[in-house]
Amino acid sequence: MIRALGIESSCDETAAAVVVDGTEVLSNALHSQIALHERHRGVVPEIASRSHTTRILPIVEAALDDAGVTPEQLDLIAVTNRPGMVGCLLVGLSAAKTLAWMFGKPLVGVDHVQAHLHAAFMTRPDLPTPGLSLVASGGHTALYRLDAPGETSLLGRTRDDAAGEALDKGAAVLGLPYPGGPSIEAAAANGDPKAIRLPRTMLDRESLDFSFSGVKTALLYHLRGPGLERPAPELDAAAVADIAASYQRAIVETLVRKMRRAAERESVRSLSIGGGVARNKLLREMIGADPVLSRLELVFPPMDLCSDNGAMIAGLGTHLWQSGHRDGLDLDAIATARTRRA
């Protein structure tokens, strides 16, 4: 039996979890900073890293307590060391290194985006491969081919905004609360997704890359005119619902169309999704209704494994550890992802 502690602090969630044998989640403790960033309508790096420093130890303690595991009983400590905001990453990394040193445990550095992808293998250890996987969050939107746990190749990624970022910015324009994904989803429930015409940016015929800056600008122009010559209009709840529904549909449909294009090209056997946007109900419905995608094995990880969490870090950390991977106490925090295209 392998017991791993996973620590995550790359963005605005302080998270820690204990996972057994890479799949059995004994605990998944989390402190979300949404309340701190809400009025700024986005994550403020300095506020985020300060909050991590006060929350990291209670969250690690909660993860161990909830799991009924002592630090001595751990086999390894996995921690997100890339990519993310450096000041945030350093907090989790320092905690992980300190624990590793104090209790003489191996340390394994984990790539946050790879951990989102790995959540599919935690949900379905026998995931049919090759698989297609979408990671869509506030910071990332990319399509990957999964060949085995830890073996992935990048097929396409956003050239500008991430899908979650576009939802967050669209919500700000509509006066809906942060984070935008859930608030647009809620507002859209009573709206007409065909109320306004918004673009689905597909880029050139071959491309599996995404671009969400166009839909965001189109929303702004719809409200304020092409030269932003009008002040932001006063919208009643019905108008907000219609626009939110149209905007959500445009973003989700773009994601689904790109996944279909990738599935047709890569002859994959399964489709999995990860990242905060993977919590979206319309996305899950549209995948299920798509004639190409619905023929694949669909793996939608549970909600708490989609958005940022410590369990996915412990899960991928366990796989890396079993493959012989070890890091030293000189492990660095790295801000940007080093990605490899297929």
The residues binding ligand KG4 (CB under 6 A) are 11, 137-139, 164-165, 167-168, 179-182, 185, 275-277, 279-280, 307-308
Find the part of the chain contacting Zn ion (CB under 5 A) among 137-145, 246-254, 277-285, 329-337: 137-145
Task: Select 166 or 219, whichever has its Cβ closest to Zn ion.
Answer: 166
Q: What's at 332, amino acid-wise?
A: D
Task: Select 137 or 272, whichever has its Cβ closest to Zn ion.
Answer: 137
279 binds, among Zn ion, ligand KG4, none (CB under 5 to 8 A by kind): ligand KG4
- Total residues at the site for Zn ion (CB under 5 A)? 2
Q: How far is CA 287 from the centre of its chain?
A: 18
Task: Select 39 or 205, whichever has its Cβ closest to ligand KG4.
Answer: 39
Asked if 308 interacts with Zn ion (CB under 5 A), we say yes
Task: Select 161 or 308, whichever has its Cβ closest to Zn ion.
Answer: 308
What strands lie across the sheet with 13-20, from one edge to the other?
A: 24-32, 13-20, 3-8, 76-82, 107-111
Per the document, the length of the chain is: 342
Q: State the Cα–Cα distance between residues 128 and 299, nearest whole angstrom.
A: 10
158 binds, among Zn ion, ligand KG4, none (CB under 5 to 8 A by kind): none
Report the nearest approach of ligand KG4 to the CB of residue 243 (Å).
16
Report the nearest approach of ligand KG4 to the CB of residue 71 (Å).
27
Report the nearest approach of Zn ion to the CB of residue 308 (Å).
4
280 binds, among Zn ion, ligand KG4, none (CB under 5 to 8 A by kind): ligand KG4
Beta carbons within 8 Å of 112's beta carbon, 6+ residues apart:
8, 10, 80, 82, 83, 84, 308, 313
Letters for 66-85 (x = contact with Zn ion by CB under 5 A, - = none) are --------------------
Number of C-beta neighbours around residue 85 at 10 A: 21
Nearest alpha-carbon partner for 191 in 179, 176, 169: 176
Report the nearest approach of Zn ion to the CB of residue 224 (Å).
32
Asked if 13 interacts with Zn ion (CB under 5 A), we say no
Find the part of the chain contacting Zn ion (CB under 5 A) among 78-86, 159-167, 282-290, 304-312: 304-312
Asked if 137 interacts with Zn ion (CB under 5 A), we say yes
Q: Which of residues 194-233 bind Zn ion (CB under 5 A)?
A: none
- Contact positions toward Zn ion, by CB under 5 A? 137, 308
